[in-house]
Chains A and B, each alone.
Chain A
């Protein structure tokens, strides 16, 4: 088995601040994802990385940057936090790209004051 570790678990930021969320997986999976979860809206894909040197925009990439530093790690940056923003950011991985099982981390809960 494996695990996905997201840090930090909770993140409180100020309006306009740049904030970075980190994700590590030890499944040795090729593909990694960042999703945003808002209440009542399900999961929306922000960025994904098919392989170690790949980066792809999802449906919600505006306002975010991502970086796949190595196969096991995938970071997400909120480029300018929006006032009163509250969301959960979920990192996931899969063995490879396509219709495969996704394994999720527990999430980073963001609050912006």
Chain B
């Protein structure tokens, strides 16, 4: 079975600063990896996903993530955050053979300081 660890429950950064949200997964095979974002009082929305190929994947609103197989990581990055990026971010993993459920991490709450 797969699992996801997001070690930082809360992260605070200043507007305009760079951001990295950490995600480590546990799965013996090749995973599919996802980052979702949840804005206040809303459901989750997909930011980006990795299936195969280039380990750096681009998402919406300037977000990107890098799959590092040797480190079992899929950290989310953004070069310059905006106040509107304040939200909860979830990393998720599923096996790559398409008949298993997606497992979500506990989430990281991002707060942007003015």
Interface residues, chain A, with chain B CB atoms under 8 Å away:
4, 35, 40-43, 45, 48, 58, 90, 92, 97-99, 101-107
Interface residues, chain B, with chain A CB atoms under 8 Å away:
4, 9, 32, 34, 36, 41-46, 49, 51, 90, 94-102, 104-107
* Residue pair B98, A90 in contact (C-beta under 8 Å): no
Work out how many contacts link A and B, with CB atoms closer than 8 A: 55
* Residue pair B46, A99 in contact (C-beta under 8 Å): no
* Residue pair B44, A104 in contact (C-beta under 8 Å): yes
Contact of A92 (CB < 8 Å), options: B43, B95, B107: B43
Known: A42-B106, A101-B49. 6 other contacts (CB 8 A): A92-B43, A98-B94, A99-B94, A99-B102, A102-B36, A104-B43
- Minimum CB–CB distance from A44 to chain B (whole Å) comes to 8
* Residue pair A107, B43 in contact (C-beta under 8 Å): yes
Complex formed: what's the CA distance from A107 to B41 in Å?
A: 8
- Which chain B residue has the least Cβ–Cβ distance from A58? B101
- Minimum CB–CB distance from B57 to chain A (whole Å) comes to 13
* Residue pair A99, B44 in contact (C-beta under 8 Å): no
Complex formed: what's the CA distance from A35 to B49 in Å?
A: 20
**What B residues does A4 contact at CB under 8 A?**
43
| The 7 nearest A-B residue pairs measured at CB | A104-B43, A98-B98, A99-B32, A42-B106, A43-B104, A99-B94, A104-B44
- Minimum CB–CB distance from B35 to chain A (whole Å) comes to 12
**What A residues does B105 contact at CB under 8 A?**
42
